[in-house]
Amino acid sequence: MKKIQGNDVICVDIDKNKVDKLNSGQVTIFEPGLEKLFLRNQKEGRLHFTTALAEAIKDAKVIILALPTPPGEDGSADLKYILGVADDLGKIISEYKVIVDKSTVPVGTAEKVHAAILKNAKVPFDVVSNPEFLREGVAVDDFMKPDRVVIGTTSDKAKKFMNDLYAPFVRQGNPIIFMDEKSAELTKYAANSFLATKITFMNEIAQLCERLNADVDMVRRGIGSDERMGRRRACSAWTASRDRCAQSGYGCGNRARTNTRQTDCARVRSIPALLREERPHQDDRRYDRVVTTAHHQ
Ligand SMILES: NC(=O)c1ccc[n+]([C@@H]2O[C@H](COP(=O)([O-])OP(=O)(O)OC[C@H]3O[C@@H](n4cnc5c(N)ncnc54)[C@H](O)[C@@H]3O)[C@@H](O)[C@H]2O)c1
């Protein structure tokens, strides 16, 4: 949940301790540029924190769900937090709302959220899928100047709300890409899988470099200057360093506050020799594993 130009933002969390800290001006995570932005908007009365969901959403036009989706034992995302809040929202919304899913969720979640709200809702609403592509360490910049904004909705009304919300951040011509809900959900998984594949590929190249006494940084620069591959993302994760991995554009792990959780990056690194060893008939099974690694980004 974030400050959006020209909007009042009320953030709701069940963690009272976190809410108290935030209300007293303490930022609970570190991201370059975040504290300044946070304090300015708090001082100017546009940013509030509370544990009271019903009160917070009373006048909200757009409700953004940024709830945890921890991986279950089989690696699939656990939707209990999202569906729990969707259930609550159905009971308390009293006028049209756009309810935006920003968590990373499996394809079909928008439908489930819609059904959970609909069970009790007495007013119209739309559920929108709006996946997040921020990179750890440059999240504020990525939000202010996104490469693109992906919005999944088939409702014209919701589309207009979302367009107004993001308009200030796409003035430099970076696109808002509208699509249906499922395509938006899949875009996030596909992007994560693609970036994970690139990291796996560069790991393979780094291994080869070690064996052949070649310089992986030079190889990376050599292939990265090809526009079809992209300088920013052709990076090796071979050093097993979170920092280097983050440079690749694949957000390895979450913010500092979640560093005890197993990170995607670690799981990506545990995939053995994906591109080099696999035979075509094994690809589907392996592809499933790559997708699983992307679940919690
Ligand atoms: N952190 C990132 O950089 C990033 C980037 C892209 C996508 N995502 C996705 O965004 C989602 C949230 O990630 P995060 O890193 O912010 O998670 P997080 O666990 O750090 O924060 C989630 C917050 O939700 C609160 N919460 C839990 N249940 C609640 C409820 N019923 N009502 C209100 N608040 C509740 C928790 O107390 C916690 O403060 C996940 O799906 C994640 O995969 C995160």
Per residue in 100-148, pLDDT tens? 999 999 999 999 999 999 999 999 999 999 999 999 999 999 999 999 9
R_g (Cα) of the chain, nearest Å? 20
Pocket test for ligand 1, best of 12, 14, 57 (most atoms within 8 A of CB): 14
Ligand 1 within 6 A of 146 CB?
no
d(CA 199, CA 220): 11
Domains of the chain: 9-179 (3.40.50.720), 188-293 (no CATH)
Q: Tens of pLDDT along 238-296?
A: 333 333 333 333 333 333 223 223 233 333 334 344 444 443 443 444 334 333 333 34
Cα-based angle 183, 186, 187 (whole degrees, multiple of 5): 85
pLDDT at residue 272, rounded to an integer:
42
Q: Whose CA is nearest to atom 18 of ligand 1?
A: 68
Q: Rounded to the nearest whole angstrom, what is the distance from the C-alpha of residue 81 to the centroid of ligand 1?
A: 9
pLDDT at residue 189, rounded to an integer:
93
Say if CB 202 and CB 167 are below 8 A apart: no
Say if CB 53 and CB 92 are below 8 A apart: yes
Q: Rounded to the nearest whole angstrom, what is the distance from the C-alpha of residue 27 to the centroid of ligand 1?
A: 15
More confident residue, 172 or 296: 172
Helix, strand, coil abundance in the chain, percent, nearest 5: 45, 10, 40
Question: 0.75 exceeded by the pTM?
Answer: yes
Cα-based angle 242, 248, 253 (whole degrees, multiple of 5): 40
